[in-house]
Amino acid sequence: MKVVIGLGIILGLLVVLPAAQYVLAAGDEPGEYLDRRVEIWGLFYRLMLVAFVIGTVVSGTIVWLVLRFRESNPKAKPTEYEADGKW
Amino acid sequence: MSKHSTWPEWVYIGVVVALLCYVGAEAWNVERIVEHVPASAEVIKVTGQQWFWTFEHENGTKEIGELHLEKGKAYKFEITSTDVVHSFNIHDYVVLLDAVPGRINTVWFSPNEAGEFPIQCREYCGLIHYNMRGTLYVENGT
């Protein structure tokens, strides 16, 4: 376990921190002309897409869960507690 | 330990975490790109006060309530306020930044379409906030 933690610290110092610094330093260079409208609305639509995908995954899982584990489902089996009163 | 398979839960967690990582990375990257000011950007000092906007160009020209810019050039706004918090907004160009007393906030844009565009305060700043408007005139370069 100690080896894993030690490796994590070394990797953090040697790889992650310089990489983060390199990426953040890119903000100091002068920028190029761009259309804010395209960038910002493009981001908005992409994130809306992600939001709807997450909504679909979460609500789809809940619907599946409710249908699959309802008592009246032919595949439903009583749990140990329900069958024998065991925890 | 549970006796049932947990892989659907891990898939569920993996998908959601991956999507959230994507959201964070994408938003961070776009913000970084949008905030890079081109070296040739002309600085315009924008001052908000109850209830109008004042613009000062690099050559000292001042405008009140209207702003004349050239199409295709980059402009960097240095935005401040002399009284309360306002918010400088050019809706059509997705420019929106607070004007805070004692602080200079910067945002840049490059108009790529000639025409007239409304400027509006987007932070409630008092009785006549609703009418703290201006007009951006984007003209074709000479």
Decide if pLDDT at B67 tops 70. yes
Each domain of chain B, given as residue ranges in start order, spans: 1-36, 42-139
Confidence of residue B142 (pLDDT cuts 50, 70, 90): low
User: pLDDT of B11-61, one tens digit each?
Assistant: 888 988 898 899 899 999 898 888 889 999 999 999 999 999 999 999 999
Interface test with A, best of B3, B16, B70, B107 (most A CBs within 10 A): B16
- Assess A34–B contact: CB distance below 8 Å, yes or no: yes
Contacts of B88 (CB under 8 A, 6+ apart): B46, B48, B53, B77, B79, B95, B96, B97, B98, B99, B107, B119, B121, B122
Count residue pairs from A and B with Cβ separation < 8 A: 60
Residue of A nearest to B108 (CA): A36
- Predicted ipTM beyond 0.85: no
- Assess A33–B contact: CB distance below 8 Å, yes or no: yes
Cβ burial, residue B55 (10 Å; 0-12/13-18/19+)? buried
Decide if pLDDT at B1 tops 60. no
Interface test with B, best of A22, A28, A29, A34 (most B CBs within 10 A): A34
Determine whether domain B42-139 maps to CATH 2.60.40.420.
Answer: yes
**What value does the mean pLDDT take over residues A14-43?**
77
User: pLDDT of A49-82, one tens digit each?
Assistant: 999 988 998 899 899 999 998 989 999 888 888 8
The B-side interface with A (CB below 8 A) comprises 12, 15-16, 19-20, 22-23, 26-27, 30, 32-39, 74, 92-95, 108-110, 112
